[in-house]
Each structure stands twice: as structure tokens, then as C-alpha cells.
A and B are shown apart, each in its own frame.
Chain A
Amino acid sequence: MDLKAAVTRARRGLREERGLYLVAVSSLAVAFLCLAGVLLATQNLSTMAARWGQSGRVSVYLAGDASPDDVTKLEGLLRGLPDVARVEHVTSAQARADFLEHADVGAALGQLPPEAFPASLEVTLAPSATAQRVDAIAGRVKSFAAVTDVETYRGWFDQLDTLVSAGRVAAIVLAALVALCVLAVIGNTIRLAVARRRQEIEVMKLCGATDGFVRGPLVLEGTFQGFVAAVIAILVLMVGFLALKDPINATVAALIGVRVAFLSSWMVVAVIVGGAVIGAAGSALSVRRYLDV
């Protein structure tokens, strides 16, 4: 198959079917934009999850009747663990004062007895601590008599993890939907293009053109549409991202302590290459279907 001739013919086809291809590329770009948007959200969520998971905290609640000796021993043991960055002893009174100071609570809560605020050891973990490691520390600490409860805040991480997984699933489902959409749009476009070029195709076949000669340009045109649509989607997403980046960083991101980032460059490449590949596949399939001359 003469690639150069096919490219020349494809360029001509794109020029002649401008209107048709403009519509197709716009719909494809919307589809790719949805996909890229979900990818962007998922990527930022997972960065957030990773960051949160790393800055791990463990609260070790102490029994009211725990002896100061036991507490000091436990504190020392915790400090000796490799993943522990800091250990702070918060007494019941401090906890109560903290709570009343930070929380905007009514008088009713102010009447709570000191027992409602157990003393605790607030453990800050090193960034290298994994979730399993946190669980292991919690398990070990729980067996001490002086300890009533251990809060690892894992529930929060788990929820975030669930969100990230949901995002990934959504991205996969959306990718499949986008693939179907692309196949449908490209298929329809090729069908129209074949119908419009019926006479040209007939002439070429009568002059001894192989199927490859006829199909090549159409497949190239489909590839190009997928590619352009993906590039447009990425560009639109980037414009949107740049516009919203600062407000998001100023509010949400400031609270969470994570700055939002655009799709990684390999993800950008993957979306664009994916667009071209699915465009090629879609047009190859429909050319086979609609081109029995």
C-alpha cells in the first residue's frame, strides 16, 4: 500500500468533507473531554489519598486509671519505633480545653465531665509509614492495659480510597463508553463519506484499485479525526484547568494541603494516542462494513 498516495488522498478527503468531519470531531472531542476530565479528577484524588495516607496520625486513648509509669513506658516504646516521628501526651484536661476552645459548642457540652475527654498519646507517623505498618502499631499498642482504644483514622483513608477506586472504575467505564461512542460516530461518518464517494470508489475499482487503495485514505481520515478530537479535548481541559486551578488551590486544596495538578504527560500522550488508535480501529471496522464495492 502506497502510504504517500493514501495520505494525499486522505488530505483531499478531509478537505472535501470538512463539514461532515467538523461535526464528527466536535462530538468526539466532547466524548474525549469527559474521559479526560474523569482521569484528571481521579488522578488528583489519588494524589490526595497518597498524601493523606502518608501523613498518618494515631491517637492512643489511655484508661483513666492508667499509672503514669505505664504511660511513660508506652510513650518510650512508641518513640523507639522506626516509623514514629513524634509522640505527644495530651491529658484529659488539655483535651477538654482544646475541644472547648476549637469547637463552637453550646453550654450543654461545656458541662461534660472530664471523663468524656480521655487522656491520649498523639502519635505522628513518619511519611514512609504504610497502612499495614499503622495497623501493626495499633494492634501492638492495644494489648497494653493502660490503653482503652486506638484510633488510626483509617476509616477516612478507606473512604478516600473508595472514592479513588470509584473514580478509576468510572474512568474505565467511561473509556469503554467513549470507545463505543467513537466507533459509532466514526462508523457513521465513514458510512456517509463512502456514500458521497460512491462514484469515486466505483471508478477506482474499475481502474484496478485494490481494496487497500480504497480503504487506506478512509482509515487515515478516521485516525486523524480521533487524534484531532483527543488533542482538542486535552486543550479544552487544560484551559478549564488553568482557569479553575487558582480558586481550587486557594480553597479546597489549602484545606487538604494538596495542590491540584494537570494530567501527567504520559496520561496526555495516552489519551491522544488512544484517540488516534480508536479512530483507526473504528474506521477500519466500518470501512470493511460499508465498502463492498
Chain B
Amino acid sequence: MSREDFGEEGARPFAFFRAGARAEPGVANKPILVLEDVYKYFRVDQPTLRGVNLTVERGEFVFVTGPSGAGKSTLLQLIYRKHTVDDGRILFSGRDIARLTERSIPYLRRNLGIVFQDFKIIGHWTVFENVAIALEILSMPRRLVRARVAEALERVGLSGRGDALTDTLSGGEQQRVAVARAIVTEPALILADEPTGNLDPHLAIDVLTLFEEINATGTTVLFATHDHSLIAKRDHRLVSIDEGRVVESRRGLTTWAGGLHSVGG
């Protein structure tokens, strides 16, 4: 696979992945994410992930769970190429992201929306600036940026708060800013790493609902959490990481339009 597959600077990479964009025939019915026998070693003697197999269909909502230290974050980090797999393949829309060159990684990430437990928003920036940065990176014209950010803020329930400094917002609101930043580019896949970990239970449900609303518009969501009360409230597909492998705990059928596909294990 050449670097050109992921688009050069200025071009819109993976444009066909965007929600609402017309999918190319053949691409549309490919799973958005396939992990094949993925190994990740941080210590030689003890792999964090040992032979993970997982297939995620377009439009799915998947809970990723497992005890602390199981490797949930590691799994997501492999997908956005913070780390590289030591063995196996990760196919994002059919392309092996492990083989991307350093220079292509930004173009991969432009197709992902990432949300973290610690929000990773810039406190001394305004809400608008925190969201707009994702579009400025794409060299989007200012007027378009304004319109798209306003739209994203509306979706997360922060209309009209664009001028507020994010430092002055509550935790729940800050996480909404982070979600707005993740969805403003209309990515095909959202990776959420314990996005409710720092929120009280009531706000956690709110944020989960927000992700479900985003999922309802066609965006695939990978939601890592160890909060079983949250998982229990919904019947989404649930994969657990145990002993470095993925165990399919439950197959949610409500949001899974792709029919029965063979999934990991």
C-alpha cells in the first residue's frame, strides 16, 4: 500500500468514510475495522495483547471492557497508531494501518475521532477554538469552520457557548467539548477511552447517550469502559479483554444492521 492511498496534504483522505458521504461499492460492505491475531508486547515476557481478533462492522456501537490493565487503552492506541502492533494486522477499511509510514499517520487520524478520560482539551482556549482546531488542521476555510463548529456544538448541547473559556466549564461540559472536537470532522470511527471515567454517574449516562446519538447518524463507536453499571444499562455489543485476548460477551443486535458476521475468537 502506498502513502497516496491515505491522501497527501490538502486532499481529503478517506473521504468515502465520512458519515453521509456516498460509499464506494465494495468499501461499504467491508468491515470498518478488523484486528487479526494482534500482539502487543510492552514487556518481552508478558504480552499485553496476545492474539486479539475482532471485527467491527460499519455503524456498530461496541463496548470494550475488561479489568484495569487488561489492555483496553492499548487496543485503541494501536488503532490510532500511538503504538504499532508487534504481530498481526489491523485493517481500517481494508487497509493495514500497521504498515503506514510515520508521515501517513496524520491522515489516518483525520478519519478518527478520539475522546479520552481526561478530555485533553486546552483550558486556556475557548470552546470554539478547542473544536475548530480539528478543522484548521484540514485547512478548512474559516467560514466553513465556523458553521461546522456551531453545528457540532449544537449536537453536544453546547450551542452558543463557543466563546466561553473551557477552563470555566464543568467536567461534563468539558467532555462535551471533547466530543464535539471528535465529531466535527465527521469521522467514520470514534474511539472513546473511558470517556465517562471522570464524570459522575448521572453525567456518564448523558455522555453515553451523546455517543449513541452520534452512532445513530452512522458513525461507528468503540467505547472502552470498565463501568459495568453503564454497560448494564444498554444492550450494545460487548467485547471483553481478558488475559490479552478478546472475549465476545454479548452481541447487541439493535444497532448492528450488518447481520451476523463472524467475529473474533
Contact = CB atoms under 8 A, between A and B. Distances in A.
Nearest to A197: B122
Given A5-B139, A213-B137, A208 B106 contact: yes
Interface SS, B side: loop
A206 interface: yes
A199 interface: yes
A203 B121 contact: yes
B167 interface: no
Contacts of A204: 133, 137
A207 interface: yes
A246 interface: no
B110 interface: yes
B120 interface: yes
Interface in A2-34: 2, 5, 16
A208 B133 contact: no
A212 B103 CA distance: 10
A51 interface: no
A92 to B, nearest CB: 88
Contact of A210 (B106, B114, B122): B106
B136 A5 contact: yes
A203 B123 CA distance: 12
A203 B131 CA distance: 11
Contact of B122 (A1, A200, A206): A200
B254 to A, nearest CB: 30
Given A2-B139, A200-B122, A202-B120, A207 B9 contact: no
Chain B, interface size: which category?
20 to 34
B39 interface: no
> Which of A2, A203, A205 lies at the interface centre, i.e. has the most chain B CB atoms within 10 A of its CB?
A203
A195 to B, nearest CB: 15
Interface in B118-161: 120-122, 124-125, 133-134, 136-139
Given A2-B139, A5-B136, A203-B133, A208 B122 contact: no
A207 B122 contact: no
Given A5-B136, A5-B139, A213-B137, A207 B121 contact: no
Contact of A207 (B103, B124, B134, B139): B134
Nearest to A199: B122
B107 interface: yes
Contacts of A208: 106-112, 134, 137-138
Interface residues of A, number: 17
Nearest to B118: A199
A85 to B, nearest CB: 70
B80 A207 contact: no
A252 interface: no
A145 interface: no
A209 interface: yes
Q: Which of B107, B111, B133, B181 has the most CB of A within 10 A?
A: B133
Contacts of B133: 203-204, 207
Nearest to A207: B134
Interface in A52-87: none
B139 A206 contact: no
Interface string A203-243: 11111111011000000000000000000000000000000
B114 A206 contact: yes
A18 B103 CA distance: 32
Interface in A182-202: 199-200, 202
Nearest to A213: B137
A140 to B, nearest CB: 73
B181 A207 contact: yes
Given A208-B110, A213-B137, A203 B80 contact: no
Nearest to B182: A207
Indicate the member of A200, A205, A206 with the most B CB atoms within 10 Å.
A206
A210 B107 CA distance: 8
A205 B122 contact: no
A218 to B, nearest CB: 16
Interface in B58-116: 80, 103, 106-112, 114
A1 to B, nearest CB: 8
Contacts of A206: 80, 109, 114, 120
Contacts of A202: 120
Nearest to B107: A208
B106 A203 contact: no
Contacts of A199: 120, 122
Give 10 nearest A-B pairs by CB, closest first.
A208-B110, A208-B109, A208-B106, A207-B134, A2-B139, A209-B137, A210-B106, A207-B137, A200-B122, A206-B114
Interface of A: 1-2, 5, 16, 199-200, 202-210, 212-213
Interface of B: 9, 80, 103, 106-112, 114, 120-122, 124-125, 133-134, 136-139, 181, 185
15 contacts: A5-B136, A199-B122, A200-B122, A202-B120, A203-B120, A206-B80, A206-B120, A207-B137, A208-B138, A209-B106, A210-B9, A210-B106, A210-B137, A212-B9, A213-B137
